[in-house]
Amino acid sequence: MDKQLKNKLRDFILEKPFLNPYRFDLDRMIRNLTSNFRLLPNTIIVGNNKSASNTVYFNLLEHPQIKGASRRENRFFDANYWRGVNWYKSHFPKKSIEKEFEKSNSKLIILDSSPTAYLHPFAASRVKKLLPSAKLIILFRNPTDHAYSLWHHRVRTNVESETFENCVLNDQERFEETEKKWINDEVKEHTWKDLRLSYVSDGIYFNHIEKWFSLFPKENIHCINVNDLAKEPIIVLNKICNFLNISEYDFKNYVIKNTAKSKIQKTSKPINPDTRKKLVEFYKPHNEKLESFLNMKFDWD
């Protein structure tokens, strides 16, 4: 069987939830059957990947008023939208949990994390249609560091074969190619690894968040500087609590999630200084535009 035919067979199986042997288990079956009795989220981390979204998500779940999904980053609004709303709902708690919070007269937050959504051209409108009153959290990391970190992550997971310098050089071509696939609805979760991501364009944050601010009121969007999270994590988490109108919390078990293993950190090469310098200069006007729009100071580079 040739490679093309194998890929077609793979895609056919993966796109049939009840045939897919890779995703079937008893819990998933029960969740699918009870999806109509489950809640939708009212808060979503919509961006950005490789920007501490996992750290924020997992630590927020320590708060007694915040409940999460059975699967972190289910990526419904970008790569799994074709699966339908019931599939999405199947990941969240049952509606019966609301009674517990009603008894104590406390607010319940159902949190989702979908940090690649901010990139997708249709994700913002999809969220608005399904969850018009949702509160959104967006994290911003130094775009130069973000670009290199994302590239390195994909090299480490064997889905990127080009050098970082070649990716930077061909960034516009990669961006247009990926954008076309998204617009044509060709990107599924199991084909995401085949994308030639545009690491540099992903870091022009204003271009990606503009659509979110055009659809949601500013008071429904909370933006975080990842540098602040590194310096004062508990303060940053409690600012999110204030944004969500729930009580502050001590987050005494705070932990950093998804950092590279020490062995990988020791063996990975730092970004080429000349490449970094060029990217820093490239991003300067874009960062200034972002700062002005958000009325925030990032102090990157």
Model pLDDT, residue 31: 82
pLDDT per residue over 47-70, tens digit each?
898 999 999 999 999 999 999 998
Q: Inform me whether the pLDDT recorded for 267 exceeds 50.
A: no
Cα 48 from chain centroid (whole Å) = 5
Cα 198 from chain centroid (whole Å) = 16
Q: Inform me whether the pLDDT recorded for 212 exceeds 90.
A: yes
Model pLDDT, residue 8: 61
Nearest to 48 by CA among 206, 202, 174: 202
At residue 238, what are phi and psi to the nearest 5 degrees? -75, -25
Q: Inform me whether the pLDDT recorded for 25 exceeds 50.
A: yes
Per-residue pLDDT band at 29 (split at 50, 70, 90): confident
* CATH code linked to domain 11-144+204-294: 3.40.50.300
The overall pTM is greater than 0.85 = yes
Model pLDDT, residue 192: 83
**Angle CA 117–123–129, to nearest 5:** 135
Average pLDDT estimate for 165-176:
96
Per-residue pLDDT band at 269 (split at 50, 70, 90): confident
Strands (E), the chain: 43-47, 66-67, 109-113, 135-140, 221-225
Q: Inform me whether the pLDDT recorded for 13 exceeds 60.
A: no
Model pLDDT, residue 32: 81
**Angle CA 176–180–186, to nearest 5:** 140
When the pLDDT of each residue in the chain is averaged and rounded to a whole number, the result is 89
Average pLDDT estimate for 251-272:
71
Average pLDDT estimate for 124-129:
98
